Amino acid sequence: MTVIVLTNCPVGLRGFLTRWLLEISPGVFLGAPSARIREVLWNEVRQYARQGRALLAYQTNNEQGYTFETHDHAW
């Protein structure tokens, strides 16, 4: 399972992601792409997000069962 959340990103980026993932709410994308496709999607998101923010969360084999990556998130 993969989740990508976009905030203040170009509309075209949202359109790009809908080719691979379902947009279950504005800016929230959900799907189960392979690891290779997930990496390609995340690279596109980081390249075209501009001043927007993005979050990627996906399942992995660790203690919590998932991991996440961020783009321009202020913690």
pLDDT digits (tens, 9 = 90+) for 39-67: 999 999 999 998 899 999 999 999 999 99
pTM (global) more than 0.85 = yes
Structural domains in the chain, sorted by start: 2-71 (3.30.70.240)
pLDDT of 72: 84
Q: How far is CA 14 from CA 57, 61, 75, in A?
A: 17, 28, 24
Asked if residue 38 has pLDDT above 70, the reply is: yes
Angle at 16 between CA 11 and CA 22, to 5 degrees: 95
